[in-house]
């Protein structure tokens, strides 16, 4: 998706594997930025390509680390569906594997065009080209995810509101 095409994209879905660590955190970070900015007319949600944790709240470690930054994560895990490609303007994958899985279920070339990597919104100086899965990591893994998402979602916000 070109920079021009990003403008005015208001329905945003974040996707990771489990939908209990990275994507619900991205959803929480993005919603907090929208609230802080008083931005209206957005739909923000998250989903997982896997189905291991359906119905569950985010991982307790992610909730603890997010809460320290003033974010309450209350999303309940769900699996991404083909209908999401109609319901959202942009589907943001956290890593290459998420993006490959999304491409595999995209129902049309137009739908596939909605898939974007979260790393597209990292600062140019970022040391990462994806959001690393923190599930088998320690506290620093969760902090890194939140650092990357806070930077990336701020840039995403600026891209969609044309700043």
Binding site for ligand 4NP (CB under 6 A): 16-22, 52, 133, 135
Q: Which is nearer to ligand 4NP, 42 or 135 (CB)?
A: 135
Is 22 among the residues known to form the active site? Answer: yes
Catalytic member of 16, 21, 77, 153: 16
Considering the complex, what minimum distance in angstroms separates the CB of residue 48 from ligand 4NP?
A: 6
Work out the number of other CB atoms within 10 angstroms of the CB of residue 93: 28
- Report CA 75 to chain centroid distance, whole Å: 12
For ligand 4NP, the closer CB: 81 or 158: 81
Determine whether 21 is an active site residue: no
Minimum CB–partner distance for residue 7 and ligand 4NP (Å): 28
Q: CB of 157 within 8 A of CB of 80?
A: no
CA 19 to chain centre: 9
Task: Give the tokens for residue 70.
Answer: 């003033």
Residue nearest to ligand 4NP (CB): 18
Note if 153 is an active site residue.
Answer: no
Whose tokens are 């470690």? That residue is: 61
- 6/16 with CB nearer ligand 4NP: 16
Residues paired with 14 in a beta bridge:
46, 92
Q: Which is nearer to ligand 4NP, 6 or 15 (CB)?
A: 15
Catalytic residue among 21, 22, 45, 95: 22
- The active-site residue out of 59, 77, 133, 153 is 133
Name the residues annotated as catalytic.
16, 22, 133
């Amino acid at each position: 998706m070109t920079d021009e095409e990003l403008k005015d994209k208001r329905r945003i879905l974040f996707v990771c594997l489990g939908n209990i660590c990275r994507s619900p955190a991205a959803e929480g970070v993005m919603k907090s930025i929208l609230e802080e900015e008083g931005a209206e007319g957005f739909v923000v949600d998250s989903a997982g390509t896997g189905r291991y944790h359906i119905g569950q709240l985010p991982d307790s470690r992610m909730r603890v680390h997010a809460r320290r930054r003033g974010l309450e994560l209350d999303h309940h895990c769900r699996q991404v569906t083909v209908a999401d490609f109609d319901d959202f303007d942009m589907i943001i994958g956290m890593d290459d594997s998420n993006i490959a899985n999304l491409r595999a279920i995209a129902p049309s070339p137009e739908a596939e065009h909605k898939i974007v990597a979260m790393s597209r919104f990292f600062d140019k100086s970022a040391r990462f080209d994806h959001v690393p899965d923190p599930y088998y990591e320690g506290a620093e893994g969760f902090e890194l995810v939140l650092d990357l998402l806070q930077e990336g979602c701020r840039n995403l916000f600026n891209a969609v509101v044309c700043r």
